[in-house]
Amino acid sequence: MKNNDQNSRRSFIKNTALGTAAAISIPQIVSASAKSFGSKRVRLNNNDVILFQGDSITDWGRDHNKTIANDNSSLGNSYVLLTAAELLEKHAAKNLQIYNKGVSGNKVFQLADRWDADTLALKPTVLSIHIGVNDFWHTLGGGYTGTIETYITDYRKLIDRTKAALPGIKLIIGEPFAMIGTKSVDARWYPTFDLFCKAARDIASQYDAPFIPYQTIFNNALKQAPATYWTLDGVHPSLAGAKLMAQGWMETVKG
């Protein structure tokens, strides 16, 4: 009888633990994924100007006719909005000013073409860049002939230009990501696309910037649900995927 009671208790504890793990597994997945690439973070200061830059994943329905901080239509409908909402709630006393200037379809050289007006003129103190999927994707029938070397060279030039114009700026580098077996991502993407992920990681390291390992985060999220749950087409996040991205972004903030 004693053994049966002990076994029952062990079973109860085990099942309870498993249930608890399942309930909090996504935040754990995001946190563990982020920490696996180091713990570098930025500290937010009073009156920081935070700018999100990138392609359609960042753009995501924002009103291009508006440049208003902390405005729903200016921030779009995806991870930037979710991240901004959490930042503004958690740091209400800091008077943060948050902008989104992502543009659908952009590659790094197209960021550079609009950098003066869409970045430097806003004088951000924190700059989040998520770029790279189009630098590869548009080579698959899109007529773009850039290479991984083009991506790396253009990206470094862009950051050098930014740091020269805005000394002391705090950079955050997001990893480009894609999920295979979906509408837009197939075997043709690999292994070349992996080089773009590595390049973003290396650039973050070179410039001593926090790195958001989005590919790792999405890969690990597959333990809970398939790729089609987290993305609409393998590239653009679903609402659940946008939440993952926002959680990943918040891992780069101290406090």
pLDDT digits 0-9 by tens, 201-234: 999 999 999 999 999 999 999 999 999 999 999 9
Handedness of CA 144, 148, 152, 153 (dihedral sign): negative
pLDDT digits 0-9 by tens, 52-72: 999 999 999 999 999 999 999
DSSP element (H, E) containing 171 = strand 170-174
Confidence at residue 6, expressed as pLDDT on a 0 to 100 scale: 42
Question: Sorting pLDDT into bands at 50, 70 and 90, what band is 24?
Answer: very low
- Greater model confidence, 72 or 10: 72
Q: Which of 26-35, 96-105, 124-133 has the lowest mean pLDDT?
A: 26-35
Residue 28 in this model has a pLDDT that exceeds 90: no
* Mean predicted lDDT score pLDDT of the chain: 90
Question: Sorting pLDDT into bands at 50, 70 and 90, what band is 29?
Answer: confident
Q: What percent of the chain has pLDDT over 90?
A: 82
pLDDT digits 0-9 by tens, 179-204: 999 999 999 999 999 999 999 999 99
d(CA 242, CA 116): 28
Question: Sorting pLDDT into bands at 50, 70 and 90, what band is 14?
Answer: very low
- Contact of 52 with 87, CB cutoff 8 Å: no
Q: What percent of the chain has pLDDT over 70?
A: 89
Confidence at residue 20, expressed as pLDDT on a 0 to 100 scale: 40
Task: Determine the residue type at 124.
Answer: P
> Which letter, b or e, does each residue of 87-96 get, where b requires 16 or more Cβ atoms within 10 Å of its Cβ?
beeebeeeeb
Residue among 214, 227, 177, 192 nearest 83 (CA): 214
- Greater model confidence, 208 or 9: 208
Residue 38 in this model has a pLDDT that exceeds 60: yes
Q: Give the residue extent of every domain in the chain.
A: 2-250
Question: Sorting pLDDT into bands at 50, 70 and 90, what band is 39?
Answer: low
Q: Which CATH superfamily is domain 2-250 in?
A: SGNH hydrolase (3.40.50.1110)
Tell me the average pLDDT across 241-253: 95
Gyration radius (Cα) of the chain, Å: 20
* Number of Cα atoms under 13 Å in the Cβ half of residue 120: 17
Confidence at residue 255, expressed as pLDDT on a 0 to 100 scale: 65
